[in-house]
Amino acid sequence: MPFKTLKPFSKTSFRILSALALAVGGTALINTQTQAAVVGPGTVHSVTLAWDAVPEPDIQGYKVHVGTQPGQYTQTLDAGTDLSHAIDNLAYGQTYYFSVRAVDSTGLESGYSPELTLTVTLPQLPATTAIAANGNGLQWSYPKTALSAHPDFNIESSTDLVTWSPAGTVAAYASTGSTATDVSYNFAITKNGPQRFYRLSARNWLGDSSAP
């Protein structure tokens, strides 16, 4: 089973190939003669499936099937006569399963092509990101090259390192300083009360948060 991982804020394309799945008229659903990738338009979380035309004159189009469980498709997309189709709005942390079927002039569909699997990984904080506490509150720095992907930062607090509660949000533009490569941030914290622990995550424009 082919498998790919889609990194945050990226797009990918791959071709579904099959010499086994039977199509209308007994023709193989996917022709394996051509294996060059077809790149289609993509968005932040998108994948483009591409396939070769079924060499059968009665084929009227193709349908793309999408699901989050192997062999169980909950979404059907009509690709028309196109030989590629972009699927947008994929969710972070979710694994998707794709298959394609050909359709003839009577509406009869072929068997499913072999399934392809794709996982969209969660965004990650750069390895150099570290949060520290001093007399002015919490401080951290962040690479300038990563700012375009994350519009703000989430701060959570805990008294036992088990249960975490939102403590606040800092916008990416609200930096308190910068160097040639990094920008700095500060978040005021309450010093009264029990000892608290803090952790930081970054959130992108779609509302998806990185691991702390």
Domain ranges of the chain: 3-120, 131-203
What mean pLDDT do residues 5-26 have? 40
Q: Which candidate, 185, 211, 197, 127, places its Cα nearest to that of 156?
A: 197
CATH 2.60.40.10 assigned to 3-120: yes
Picking from 3, 88, 16, the residue whose alpha carbon sits closest to that of residue 50 is: 16
CB 23 within 8 A of CB 29: yes
pLDDT at position 72 over 60: yes
Q: Decide if pLDDT at 96 tops 70.
A: yes
**pLDDT value, residue 122:** 60
Q: Which tokens in the block code for residue 108?
A: 């009869």
Cα separation, 185 vs 133, in Å, equals 12
Q: Which residue has the higher pLDDT, 133 or 19?
A: 133
How confident is the model over 31-61, as pLDDT tens digits? 333 333 333 333 346 777 888 777 777 888 8
Q: What pLDDT is attached to residue 73?
A: 92
Q: In what order do the strands lie in the sheet with 197-203?
A: 165-171, 152-158, 197-203
Position 193 confidence tier, pLDDT thresholds 50, 70, 90: confident
Tell me: pLDDT of 23 over 50: no
137 has a pLDDT exceeding 60: yes
Q: In whole angstroms, what is the distance from residue 100 CA to residue 51 CA?
A: 8
CB proximity list for 174: less than 8 A, separation 6 or greater: 185
Amino acid identity of residue 106, one-letter, is: T
Single out the residue of 45, 26, 19 nearest to residue 149, CA to CA: 45
* Mean local confidence (pLDDT), 65-76: 92
Cα separation of 143 and 146, whole Å?
6
SS3 57: coil
What's residue 35's pLDDT? 32
- Gap between the Cα atoms of 207 and 56, Å rounded: 45
Model pLDDT, residue 124:
60
Q: Cα separations (Å) of 189 from 153, 168, 178?
A: 15, 10, 22
Instruction: Provide the mean pLDDT of the chain.
Output: 72
What phi and psi, each to the nearest 5 degrees, are found at residue 98? -125, 145
**What confidence category does residue 2 fall into, taking pLDDT thresholds of 50, 70 and 90?**
very low
Least-confidence region, from 18-32, 51-65, 128-142, 198-212: 18-32
Cβ pair 156, 120 in contact under 8 A: no
